[in-house]
Amino acid sequence: MSQTPQTPTPPTKFGRLSKTIAFWLMVILVPVFIIQYAGGSKDGASEVKYTEYGLQLQADNIQQVTVIGGKVIQGTFKSPVMINSRSVHKFSVKLPVSNSDKELDRLNEKGVIVDAQDPSPSIGALLVNLLPWIVIFGFWIFFLRQMQGGGNKAFSFGKSKAKLLTGDTPKVPFADVAGCDEAKEELQEIIEFLKDPQKFTKLGGRLPKGALLVGPPGTGKTLMARAVAGEAGRPFFSMSGSDFVEMFVGVGASRVRDLFEQGKASAPCIIFIDEIDAVGRHRGAGIGGGHDEREQTLNQLLVEMDGFESNEGVILVAATNRPDVLDPALLRPGRFDRQIVVDAPDLRGREGILRVHMRNKPMADDVDITSLARSTPGMAGADLANLVNEGALLAARRNHDKVYMVDLEEAKDRVQLGAERKSLVMKDEERRLTAYHEAGHAVCAIKVKGCDPLHKVTIVPRGRTLGVAYTLPEDDRVSITREQLEARLVMAYGGRVAEEMVFGRSRVTTGAASDIQMATGIARRYVSQWGLSDKIGPILVGDNEQELFLGAQLMSRREVSERTAQIVDEEVSRVINESYQKAKVVLTEHRDLLDVVALALLDRETLNRDDIKLLVEGGELPPRLPPEPSSPLLVPASAPAAAKAAPALLGGPEVAPA
């Protein structure tokens, strides 16, 4: 049975401090001892006793001496003397009495050559004299070590901050990436190219230089890059686009050069740059011109990707959710050979993503993954992961041993609409107004042709709304018809019309602000972008979605005349008024159904699809069961895939600002 290798324990703060102290002690003491012993060397002189020295002086066997500090005599014998079975020519002796005049007289009588010198300095005195030099030397050692460090060290601004994924880094296999099969296939081909390049080069193919992952936020672009790192088995350098640019001039370009130098040294390898739009924006955009630090960084990146010098074996993978702002030179073949779209998952993809995130969680038998996937169109991978996580947290809060479907449904409402505001106390009149507002949306959704099936109506306050009514498409949708758009406009004004019909014009509230905002946006695009107005025709009037920072609108001429702009405004007003009047007609014809749905909302607070169907058929709702304290009544809820242009959920009256 194999054992899992243990991760080495990082050194403690005390351990690092002790190593630092030991280093500096060595730096200071080693030179001191070297100087001390070098300066105080006795040139091989042997220490003898004073008695032996006196005998040799009496025998006239001393040639010359040197008196050191009046305490020590060093000298040489005329003839070597055997001391401790060893022949001694040079000697050293300590005087019993310092500065003895009688000792000098004895030496002079024997004709010995006498010299004198000061004693060598002690260690303490030497330290005092050398302390300034030691400090200077230590400072330079510290400075050089900082210069040689990486990342945030001094004089290393130009070093790349790329992280190299090693064998100890947790791997993400492709099996954990669901919902984007086409993108996986393209990236798997790159991985196969790295593992077996001859399979492709024998037919004349070349290694792709780059792949750009494009898609909305949360669709799994970074996750796919991590999966590539886990599957490739080659060095993988990861870096963010914001890590290139600093406040110092030339740092970004230097880091790009250093990054590709590391890549070339480890080729074949993969370099991943997340959020490349931070450095890859269109050059010359805005007011600042084209000579800023960011553009220098981009120029260096363009050269490294496809310049005179070859970077064979280095594949650049980048991710962005703003491909519209990238420089065209960055997107051409030879730099980014492939643009891989990672879009929001379809029904099958959402089901696969939910299964991946539910894999390690105890799920109850009543959890229907297919139904949950159908009720979450438009949700990205990150949204689904958050939904499953919120469901698990909610189940734990309710002391459940497993995650039940009721927990996931509640989590879905929480993710889409916000937490339930149980502390909000509404007056009876406000609850009645909210009920009729949502009932107006519901009746229009039921009776207007082109609306998606009504999925849920509730007057339970969530987020900034007091209630919500929304529809759910039966299938994933990639486009919207003219009939569906007009039906959504009618449904949007159903709440406002119901307030006016029941409570009178003077009692109409500001609660329809979000409905009006959504409807106005749809109507303007209906006329100016989608070409659905018979009076304007299939013409694009203006480009309101263009970003001002790109500089395209700063000095450009006006493309829409005053007359055309006036016609557009008139057409937008006409479309909105027609939708408002149609909503009034529908609610007038089905006033009885409006009252029935409103009273049911006041009684139940939440109506699901089956409840609404029963009310439309003229039936009565079954007796309401007492709700559990920790498990409120829950029904499926979602927003459709085409909600980007016109969301299929309509909020009730918003909370008025204080």
Cα of 32 vs its chain's centroid, Å: 52
Residue 510 pLDDT: 84
- Per-residue burial over 261-287, b = 16 or more CB atoms within 10 Å of its CB, e = otherwise: ebbbebbbbbbbbbbbbbbbbbbebbe
Instruction: Provide the pLDDT confidence category of residue 527 given band limits of 50, 70 and 90.
Output: very high
Instruction: Provide the pLDDT confidence category of residue 636 given band limits of 50, 70 and 90.
Output: very low
> What percentage of the chain has pLDDT greater than the value 90?
18
- Over residues 447-458, the mean pLDDT reads 88
Residue 655 pLDDT: 46
- Given a contact cutoff of 8 angstroms between Cβ atoms, the answer to whether 98 and 119 are in contact is no
368 or 646, higher pLDDT: 368
92 or 584, higher pLDDT: 584
Q: Which of 61, 126, 58 is nearest to 91 (CA)?
A: 61
- Looking at mean pLDDT, say which of 92-106, 423-437, 619-633 comes out highest: 423-437
pLDDT value at 617 more than 70: yes
pLDDT value at 154 more than 50: no
What tens digit of pLDDT does each residue of 407-433 get? Answer: 998 888 888 777 777 667 778 888 899
27 Cβ neighbours under 8 A, 6+ residues apart? 134, 137, 138, 141
51 or 214, higher pLDDT: 214
- Over residues 556-581, the mean pLDDT reads 86
Give whole-number Cα distances, 590 to 274, 334, 443, 646, in Å: 54, 63, 8, 25
Residue 649 pLDDT: 54
> What percentage of the chain has pLDDT greater than the value 70?
75
- Over residues 4-23, the mean pLDDT reads 50
Residue 230 pLDDT: 77
In this predicted structure, which of 232-246, 485-499, 570-584 has the lowest mean pLDDT?
232-246
- Given a contact cutoff of 8 angstroms between Cβ atoms, the answer to whether 56 and 62 are in contact is yes
- At 22, list the tokens: 């030991």
Q: What is the pTM of this model?
A: 0.66
Residue 491 pLDDT: 93
Mean pLDDT of the chain: 77
- Looking at mean pLDDT, say which of 178-192, 234-248, 377-391 comes out highest: 377-391
pLDDT value at 467 more than 90: no
Backbone conformation region of residue 399, classed left if phi is above 0, alpha if psi is from -120 to 50, else beta = left
Question: Cis link prior to 8 (omega < 30° from 0)?
Answer: no
- Given a contact cutoff of 8 angstroms between Cβ atoms, the answer to whether 210 and 337 are in contact is yes
Catalytic residue among 295, 304, 409, 438: 438
Residue 201 pLDDT: 77
Give whole-number Cα distances, 433 to 29, 477, 492, 604, in Å: 87, 33, 16, 15
216 Cβ neighbours under 8 A, 6+ residues apart? 321, 343, 344, 380
pLDDT value at 555 more than 50: no
What tens digit of pLDDT does each residue of 39-91 get? Answer: 444 456 778 888 878 888 888 888 888 887 777 888 888 888 888 778 888 88
pLDDT value at 11 more than 50: no
Q: Which of 386, 394, 502 is nearest to 443 (CA)?
A: 502
Task: Please confirm, yes or no, whether 500 is among the known catalytic residues.
Answer: no
Residue 569 pLDDT: 92
644 or 591, higher pLDDT: 591
553 or 350, higher pLDDT: 350
In this predicted structure, which of 21-35, 148-162, 511-525 has the lowest mean pLDDT?
148-162
What tens digit of pLDDT does each residue of 97-150 get? Answer: 766 777 777 777 777 777 777 776 666 666 667 677 777 777 777 666 655 444
Under DSSP, the state recorded for 80 is E
What tens digit of pLDDT does each residue of 216-230 get? Answer: 888 888 888 888 877
pLDDT value at 442 more than 80: yes
- Given a contact cutoff of 8 angstroms between Cβ atoms, the answer to whether 284 and 235 are in contact is no
Residue 40 pLDDT: 47
Amino acid at 228: V
Residue 311 pLDDT: 63
Give bridge partners of residue 470 from the DSSP assignment: 456, 649
